[in-house]
Chains A and B, each alone.
Chain A
């Protein structure tokens, strides 16, 4: 082995090793740069997202007939302030129910200066959503992406009209995520954000850094503290509101299935005794007289294991499942009663809109 061959013997692998290492290091860096260029993470400004979404966020002024002390007649007076989102070019506007709940007339102002009178298509107290309709040409529509799954830590922008100052954009992150089920439950299950949301922001849009609708902002109108922004605000998830909206447009109300029972998770000790998991076993604590479950012979202390032969992970998931069954259709419940599994067929009833306590 002369000098040349021994040099090549060492040099070649070192050379190729270097090339491969360089490629791996800088190739990965190149990849990072490319994702930055794609515009998902435009760090210095969210103005592109704002430009896409903000024209579709409208100001809502609700007016009410109020007795006048001067001439004993009723006069329209502005009583409420909020925001709304134009969801499609037909003029459907999504907002919070509480923004328009007491309105006799609803006025909608677009950012381009146009004014419309809106009609109420339908509203849902449980989720605090309402759908309005305006008729106009060339309406701006908010970008939507049904595949977007909000995650804790995602950057979001809240667009609305706080205190009627005019359109305002505030920024924060998603602090907690919500669920998309239709059953009635508390607000704590909604999206939580630390973007500043104030009175007048209600019904406005929460968007992501691509300008896509993430949720409908809901500021507590009747909160004790008038200035409620303290880094904890709530929004109704887009996917839930989309389903509510579809139902409101089709039926004018949200139709939720109901069993007419009150239930809770099985006590873990008892669950173990039965060889069950507490999480996905539900004990029925109350059966409403004359309700769908009562008619089918469901009794108190029955343990619900499956609905239509499918189990569930949580009580809330079970509630969501029942809520989504069309009233009038039949469902099979798998129950555990006195140690024996039994099957019961129930005709699902409709949950009345007034009930806001968690029950099924």
Chain B
């Protein structure tokens, strides 16, 4: 009786086991009872938010000096049609906002967006920021879009798994895997604000503007650049951190531009020697060499010799990191700074100020320019004539409000201080190279 019971139970056990093992074998993500690693589920979730971008445009070049050319002759602007590819990430599905790199859409006259589903749209540029190499686009559609979620990029660590999603070489959407190789990379001279995430996930031409995501499928960064050769990826790629992207995108969305806040300090990286000299425990942080008078930094109580070690609670390791983080915040933002001052850790609160563009009355530069008010144009593109007084000498010579001075005496200038420098060395006769309504002309002042 007992034997029969036992044999019956064994048979039943075997039957059940067989049944379940069969069902386990049917699951594709299990092997020998262990989960097979596949990133497919999270790729499924995140990839519809990554779009392909195709642009076409005209790259216009202008002859800088043609002595006998008629200023009204448009033939001196040469334009070259071109096409380009890139990637973008949908960050707001309600409004169709897409973030990408500025360099992807630079000089574009038409931007075509292709979703993973194959749908095509024409996008408008909402705003761009050259310094962070980001641009915000918008597509208008009734169709349901998928947006990406943002990760907190201050929480990521070297060694974390990441995936790059983009459109390398225009092949179509491609997913590559790797890890975070390093954080806070700067000094690559790719842009002004550098606080890159480095990864060994393969990033190539066309991946620019695409997503770097973590294993939750959340956006960690926007892939922007690679180090190396023309041959493509060598395992060294760079992405703009998601937190910086978030801040810039918000400003672009709200104002169409970035009104960058400044703290008003000059500084440098903290070296072990400096850390020794100031008796600091750790050689990490941003060292302040100088505080600008009346600046946000001075008002907050920062002093030369202080070391900034955190901003908004997240650690600052290098000056470049501080610069990039401040640079992605809007003027008027209140920031909490962790500071080592006189050997003590203190928290100071600063309200970032608008970075003041240089403005000057032109007669201070040269008497011929009397009556005009000049200012630095955006992004170091020249000097803008903001106003010209009636019956003034400047007006007599033909200067008009809205003119952009881009050169003087055959030399290119980028800002007011360069203009002032050039005028000092050539006082006799001024030949101004001016852009007016997208046309170049020369004004001779003597």
Chain A residues near B (Cβ < 8 Å): 9, 12-14, 16-18, 20-21, 24-25, 28-29, 32, 43-51, 54, 112-115, 157, 162-163, 165-171, 195-198, 226-229
Cβ contact within 8 Å between B161 and A196: no
**Which of B13-21, B163-171, B246-254, B391-399 is the contact stretch?**
B13-21
Nearest chain B residue, comparing its CB with the CB of A162: B236
Give the chain A neighbours of B182 by CB distance below 8 A. 165-169
Query: What is the bound-complex CA distance between A131 and B231, given in angstroms?
Result: 35
Cβ proximity bits B9-47 to A, threshold 8 Å, 1 near / 0 not: 111110111001000000000000111010000000000
Cβ contact within 8 Å between B181 and A32: no
Give the chain A neighbours of B8 by CB distance below 8 A. 13-14, 17
- Whether a CB of chain A sits under 8 angstroms from the CB of B227 is yes
Cβ contact within 8 Å between A170 and B5: no
- Whether a CB of chain A sits under 8 angstroms from the CB of B215 is yes
Cβ contact within 8 Å between A198 and B179: no
The distance from the CB of A219 to the nearest CB of chain B, in whole angstroms, is 11
Cβ contact within 8 Å between A44 and B158: no
- Whether a CB of chain A sits under 8 angstroms from the CB of B266 is no
Cβ contact within 8 Å between A20 and B13: yes
Give the chain B neighbours of A163 by CB distance below 8 A. 227, 236
Give the chain A neighbours of B181 by CB distance below 8 A. 168-170
Give the chain B neighbours of A12 by CB distance below 8 A. 5, 9
Give the chain B neighbours of A18 by CB distance below 8 A. 12, 16
Given contacts A13-B9, A50-B158, 5 further A-B contacts (CB under 8 A): A14-B12, A43-B37, A43-B215, A45-B159, A165-B236
Q: Could you list 27 examples of A-B contacts with CB < 8 Å?
A: A9-B5, A13-B8, A17-B10, A20-B13, A21-B20, A24-B17, A32-B35, A43-B37, A43-B161, A44-B161, A45-B159, A46-B159, A50-B157, A157-B179, A165-B185, A166-B185, A167-B182, A168-B200, A169-B180, A169-B182, A171-B178, A171-B200, A226-B229, A227-B228, A228-B234, A229-B234, A229-B235
Cβ proximity bits B185-215 to A, threshold 8 Å, 1 near / 0 not: 1000000000000101000000000000001
Cβ contact within 8 Å between B13 and A21: yes
Cβ contact within 8 Å between B179 and A169: yes
Q: What count of chain B residues pass the 8 Å CB interface test?
A: 41
Give the chain B neighbours of A168 by CB distance below 8 A. 181-182, 198, 200, 236
Give the chain A neighbours of B158 by CB distance below 8 A. 47, 50, 54, 169
Cβ contact within 8 Å between A170 and B200: yes
Q: Which of B309-343 contact A (CB under 8 A)?
A: none
The distance from the CB of B221 to the nearest CB of chain A, in whole angstroms, is 16
Cβ contact within 8 Å between B234 and A196: yes
Give the chain B neighbours of A228 by CB distance below 8 A. 234
Query: What is the bound-complex CA distance between A229 and B283, given in angstroms?
Result: 33
Cβ contact within 8 Å between B161 and A32: no
Query: What is the bound-complex CA distance between A110 and B105, given in angstroms?
Result: 41
Query: What is the bound-complex CA distance between A32 and B181, given in angstroms?
Result: 30
Give the chain A neighbours of B13 by CB distance below 8 A. 17, 20-21, 24
Nearest chain B residue, comparing its CB with the CB of A228: B234
Cβ contact within 8 Å between B234 and A227: yes
Query: Which of B20, B178, B181, B200: most chain A CB closer than 10 A?
Result: B181
